[in-house]
Amino acid sequence: MPSATALYVGLISGTSADGIDAALAAFEPSPRLLAAITHPWPEALRARMLALAQGDGATTLDELGALDAEIGGVFAAAVEALLARARVPGSAVRAIGSHGQTLRHRPQAPTPFTLQLGDPNVIAERTGIATVADFRRADVAAGGQGAPLLPIFHAALLARPGATRVVLNLGGIANITVLGADGSVIGFDTGPANGLLDAWCLQHLAAPFDRNGAFAARGRCDTALLARLLDDPYFALPPPKSTGREHFQLGWLEQRLQDAALRPEDVQATLVELTARSVAQAIDAHADGAGEVLACGGGVHNPVLMAALRRVLAPRSIGSVALLGLDPDYVEAMAFAWLAHARLEGRTGNLPAVTGARGARVLGGIYAPR
What angle separates helix 43-54 from helix 61-86, to the nearest 10 degrees? 130
Candidates 139, 190, 144; CA nearest to 167 is: 190
Question: What is the rounded distance in angstroms from the CA atom of residue 293 to the CA atom of residue 162?
Answer: 15
| pLDDT value of position 287 | 94
pLDDT < 50 regions, the chain = 1-4
| pLDDT value of position 259 | 75
| pLDDT value of position 89 | 97
| pLDDT value of position 4 | 46
DSSP codes, 299-320 = GGG-HHHHHHHHHHHTTSEEEE
What the chain holds in terms of domains, given with CATH numbers, is 4-146+348-367 (3.30.420.40), 151-324 (3.30.420.40)
| pLDDT tens digits along 61-113 | 999 999 999 999 999 999 999 999 999 999 999 999 999 999 999 999 999 99
Q: How many helices (H) and strands (E) does the chain have?
A: 13, 12
* Torsion sign, CA atoms 234, 297, 155, 317: negative
User: CA 115 → CA 80, 106, 210, distances in Å?
Assistant: 25, 8, 28
168, containing H or E segment:
strand 165-170
Provide the pairing of β-strand 93-106 with 292-296: unpaired
Question: What is the rounded distance in angstroms from the CA atom of residue 326 to the CA atom of residue 10?
Answer: 15
Contact by Cβ (8 Å): 239, 189: no
Candidates 196, 163, 200; CA nearest to 179 is: 163
Helix, strand or coil for residue 231? Answer: coil
